[in-house]
C-alpha cells in the first residue's frame, strides 16, 4: 500500500472493500512512519498484494 503523501510503500491490512464514485476503495489499517496505527479508505489503485510463497499447512513450508 502506498498513500499519496508517503514516498515509500507501507505494509497494511485491507479490512473491507466498497465501490465508490471513483471506483473501488479499501478500508486499510497500517502503521505510519512514526508507528501510529492509521485506518482509512484508500483507492484500490494505491493498493497492491504482497508477494509471499504459498502456505502448505506444514511447519516445513
pTM of the full structure: 0.68
Instruction: Decide: 15 and 29 in contact? Cβ < 8 Å.
Output: yes
pLDDT tens per residue, range 3-45: 555 556 788 999 999 998 899 999 999 998 888 999 999 999 9
pLDDT tens per residue, range 47-61: 988 777 666 666 665
The single residue listed with the C-alpha cell 465501490 is 19
State the distance between the two ends of the chain, measured CA to CA, in whole angstroms.
26
Task: Return the domain boundaries, the chain.
Answer: 12-46
Amino acid at each position: 500500500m502506498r498513500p499519496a503523501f508517503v514516498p515509500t510503500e507501507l505494509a497494511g491490512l485491507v479490512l473491507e472493500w466498497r465501490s465508490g464514485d471513483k471506483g473501488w476503495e479499501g478500508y486499510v489499517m497500517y502503521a505510519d512512519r512514526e508507528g501510529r496505527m492509521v485506518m482509512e479508505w484508500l483507492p484500490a489503485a494505491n493498493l497492491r498484494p504482497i508477494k509471499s510463497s504459498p502456505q502448505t499447512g506444514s511447519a516445513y513450508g
